[in-house]
Amino acid sequence: MDNKETSRSEIASLMERILYEVKKVIVGQDHFLERVLVAVLAQGHLLVEGVPGLAKTLTVKTLARTIRGSFKRIQFTPDLVPADLVGTRIYNQKTGDFTTSLGPVFTNLLLADEINRAPAKVQSALLEVMQEHQVTIAGESHQVPEPFLVMATQNPIETEGTYPLPEAQVDRFMMKVLVGYPTEEEEFVIVDRVTGLPNDVVAMATTEQLSALQRECQSVYVDPSLKQYAVRLASATRDPDRYGVADLAKYVSFGASPRASIHLIEGARALAFLRGRTYVLPADVTDLVPDVFRHRLVLTYEALAEEMTADQLIQRIMQHIAAPDKPLETHVKVAASS
């Protein structure tokens, strides 16, 4: 038992040190940064929506430096082709052989900047690597390094020259996070840091240690009632009539897939882990519901005409489906150790 407690305190200390190093560069954006760490621990992918200049790229780049991981950025443009992402076969005239040139997806943290500016065939090139963590080139599979995280950004204010993301790809993102402007006080600190001497970021963990954190995160206990709650929320988006929200049916063409329930529980585990617990509370689940569900709802034209957002529909559903009572800590610890 003492060894377990020591291990947990070391893990908490390591996460604190990683956060401290990132916060030396990033000001504010606590919600966004927390979601990035949740995605890393839960081995999920992140879709980020925010206007330019909100440190989306800098956050991922700084995180990569703190874990000694490799970082690559792809600027999505209309003339991009799938080979620019995953790689291709190259013919060598001297030897008469073909060699495989691997693309920029072979990294630990991949930033797909303005992902909706490339056509669907390019976006779809990420499908296999996001789900299977491998790329197939000329019938040969190549594994990407572990840990592997895709963070994609899109700009909400410029829609000219953009392409909608395929639903199959959107569903592979664990969360969609909305990044807002900093407060006046935070912006003052940002200006002061950027115009002053740069802060050096120190690598606090290796990729092997991060992989160990991911494995430890999977041991966080989730009460069956919380899993049932996640399933009920996802089911309510698909069949509102069964859950007393029949008036929402006209606003939703397609609801959340079972992958949403899975990602919600995996994310809640990571969030509880970040908060220093070995068990998940209802608050861990409810905090993540909007981020996990908002990009999975396909709204009808009627919803768009009435200016209904996915977040508003999700809040209505959460009001009708109550979270389970707070699990007793003693019961959870007994169940977790059994």
Q: Average model confidence (pLDDT) for the chain? A: 82
Q: Would you call the peptide bond into 52 cis, given omega within 30 degrees of 0 as the criterion? A: no
Per-residue pLDDT tens digits for 205-246: 788 888 888 888 888 889 888 999 999 999 988 888 887 788
Residue 147 near residue 69 (C-beta atoms within 8 A): yes
Residue 170, pLDDT above cutoff 90: no
Going by C-alpha positions, the residue among 286, 279, 290, 291 that lies closest to residue 338 is 279
Q: At what angle do helices 2-23 and 207-217 cross, to 10 degrees?
A: 120
In angstroms, the Cα distances linking 264 to 5, 171, 231, 252 are 27, 12, 9, 20
Q: How far apart are CA 192 and CA 181, in angstroms?
A: 17
Residue-wise pLDDT for 86-122, tens only, equals 888 787 777 777 777 788 888 888 888 888 888 878 8
Spatial distance between the Cα atoms of 138 and 113, rounded to a whole number of angstroms: 27
Across the beta sheet with 175-178, what order do the strands follow?
71-75, 109-113, 149-154, 46-49, 175-178
